[in-house]
Amino acid sequence: MPTTATFYHAGCPVCVEAERAIAAALDPARFRVEIVHLGQAKARVAEARSLGVKSVPALVLDGVPLHINFGARLDDLG
């Protein structure tokens, strides 16, 4: 059964490029990728924060936040 990988982003160019490069590269047999646009799903900012996300874009795998690049601080989103 695939593990969920959650990709959080804010829709900025850095985030969109990271989504295309990283999230799309994950093996779908191993990972079910959920894309969360925090600019549109502000209610999920607290969820991302509780998982240790400090900035976006970030990918959370097995509860571990992986900060890919710097697009925006999570505190700036809500």
Given a contact cutoff of 8 angstroms between Cβ atoms, the answer to whether 45 and 78 are in contact is yes
Q: What is the pLDDT of residues 24-73, one digit of tens each?
A: 899 989 999 999 999 899 999 999 999 999 999 999 998 999 998 887 88
Distances (CA, A) of 7 to 34, 47: 6, 12
Given a contact cutoff of 8 angstroms between Cβ atoms, the answer to whether 50 and 12 are in contact is no
Instruction: Give the pLDDT score at 12.
Output: 86
Instruction: Give the pLDDT score at 13.
Output: 86
Instruction: Give the pLDDT score at 15.
Output: 84
